Structure 1
Amino acid sequence: MSGKTLRLHIPQWQGGNLEAYHFGAQLLAWLAPAATGPVATVEVAEPDGSGLSWEDGIVARSVLLKQLDRAAQVLRNETPDKVVVLGGDCLVDLAPFAYLNERYEDELAILWVDAHPDVMTPQQTAHAHAMVLGNLMGQGDANFTERVARPVKPERVMYAGLFDMSPAEWTTIERLGLRRATPSQLIDSSQPVIEWLRSIGAKHVAIHLDLDVIDPAQLRSVYFTRPDAAPDAFDGIPQGRMTVPQVVRLLNDVAEQVEVVGLGITEHLPWDAITIRDMLQALPLIGKG
């Protein structure tokens, strides 16, 4: 199926409470190949260093819900057959993937390519980007789940690149029976994912690609290479173990088997570009110096 493909830019940063996501999303949109269909940008307030408020267990709850509704309205107006999302924190995929699951009903599969499961609740974290997949399955905070008209069935979800998580996340994954292929299982073959797609009879797939699934030694534009982080800042937090070629091979292998109708690329954090941008702004003649 060909159809209409919408390129959706969502430079959302509040879901991870990290201002760098905003610039990262903008740069990602600039780097991406030219769109072959319509392009839309969801309005997101630029960060100004003022910080975000804690609202009933979630940072920036009201702002995130407004942005979620804006994205949903764009999708209703455009009615695309396929969606490419360039974000922003992981929460940007909530409205587009919910839309696609409504459109394709029980024929849609979701492949979550991520080093983290994104099934937390406000009892476990205040950052909504770590809740997005749970919300898509009807799990978690009511303000977010009520915006998913047709929850995704857990058997139609699989992780790729996930290898460790917190005890609470393990409990949720085991309760829901979510499938996963670890980085070691995907080193030379995409077969575990292909077999899952065949087993559920998937005709369409939406792919969430969190760039932090990639080994920080392979890609420096991820959270774990943050230059101002303390040496022990990421102790105990799983970091990506896949390579860029492995991710590219996996997604293309999937596309050969099942029609890809959604691709969300998230959590781009170009620390070096941010450093240079800030340096230029501070210099004389060209900036504020």
Structure 2
Amino acid sequence: MSKSKTIRIVMPQWQGGDNPVYHFGAELLAWLAPKNDDPVVNIPVFAPDHELEDEQGIMGRKEVVEQLKAAERAIQEHEPEKIVVLGGDCLVDLAPFAWLSQRYGENFGILWVDTHPDIMSPEQFSHSHAHVLGALMGYGDKDLTQVVNAPVPAKNVMIAGLNEPNEYEIGFLAEKNIQSCSPEEIQSNTPRIRNWIKENNITHLAIHWDLDVLDYYKFRSVLFAEPNIDEAVWDGVGKGKLTLTDVENLIQEVNKLTEIVGIGIAEHTPWDAINLKNTLSKLPLFSAK
């Protein structure tokens, strides 16, 4: 088959966060994304119609690994130069960013726009969406790192929007000397991210955008904005503080300094659309016949 420079991957994976909402969130995100002529690659995902089990420290390990391998095969088939990923939980960026790292080598970097660093392993947390950046650096469970042939060095990673990391995350970031930037620094247009790109000669960049980096009072389609849930449930968990404009400005700024070869958007949780969809399915004349 002919090889395309850019492909768009739609991967409604939900198992990494053990949250079926991510499945519909990815499908709606794919509908919202502006259409173009790039090939769209749909990665098959097990339907969110069952409960997951903890399999050696990872919820739904078998399904996660099978989907990861399917994504890897699809990418190898297309041999893209650039990749857009529409997810799904954060783990959807593992195979695509691993491919880009192998393709572009030592001058490839990752800008991780996320409230959380996603550098944990099964020893700390059973939800593998929190393992993905660590795996891309070569750390963590071998079922995840198996697709990472060119681990990304710590100096080529910047976490943007980090807020209230836990004790383990603080220790890991310090030990590996991974740079990060707070929401307040981004909003004040700090030069730190620009300096990071220049100092490390990042000529090719992949951007991971977890929508939970956004302020959930201003953008409601994120996990923390779930209706009818006591906000105290999320006490002690870092929550986003950025706006859509903050993220747009950040991406436009780095686009002037380096070549963006990957963008992954993850963890879209459109609560109002989901609740309306569920209600419509229960009404007369709307239900499946």
Query: If the TM-score is normalised by the length of the shorter chain, which range does it land in?
Result: over 0.9
Distance 1:144 1:121 in 2: 10
* 1:13-52 superposed matches below 5 A: 13-48=14-49, 50-52=50-52
Q: How far did residue 228 of structure 1 move?
A: 4.0
TM-score (norm 1): 0.97
- Opposite residue 32 of structure 1, the aligned amino acid is A
Aligned match of 2:138: 138
More moved, 3-12 vs 186-195: 186-195
* 1:1-289 superposed matches below 5 A: 4-48=5-49, 50-189=50-189, 191-287=191-287
**1:31-88 residue CA offsets vs partner (Å, 9 max, x unmatched):** 000033111000002211x201210011001110000000000100000000000000
Instruction: Tell me if the contact between 1:5 and 1:36 (Cα under 8 Å) persists in the aligned partners.
Output: no
**1:115-158 residue CA offsets vs partner (Å, 9 max, x unmatched):** 00100111110000000000000111111112211111011000
**1:203-257 residue CA offsets vs partner (Å, 9 max, x unmatched):** 1100000000010011100000011423421011110011111100000101111
Distance 2:269 2:191 in 1: 30
- Opposite residue 36 of structure 2, the aligned amino acid is A
Alignment partner of 1:15: what SS? helix
- Opposite residue 25 of structure 1, the aligned amino acid is A
- Opposite residue 96 of structure 2, the aligned amino acid is P
Distance 1:201 1:54 in 2: 41
- Opposite residue 268 of structure 1, the aligned amino acid is H
Distance 1:163 1:31 in 2: 28
Q: How far did residue 168 of structure 1 move?
A: 0.7
Distance 1:253 1:259 in 2: 11
Distance 2:80 2:288 in 1: 43
Alignment partner of 1:282: what SS? coil
Q: Which runs of 5+ in 2 are unaligned?
A: none
Distance 2:162 2:130 in 1: 14
- Opposite residue 128 of structure 1, the aligned amino acid is S
- Opposite residue 262 of structure 1, the aligned amino acid is G
TM-score (norm 2): 0.97
Distance 1:244 1:171 in 2: 30
Instruction: Tell me if the contact between 1:116 and 1:162 (Cα under 8 Å) persists in the aligned partners.
Output: yes
- Opposite residue 13 of structure 1, the aligned amino acid is W
Distance 2:279 2:144 in 1: 39
Distance 1:252 1:11 in 2: 26
Q: How far did residue 288 of structure 1 move?
A: 5.8
Alignment partner of 2:241: what SS? coil
Identity of aligned pairs, percent? Answer: 44
Distance 1:40 1:142 in 2: 26
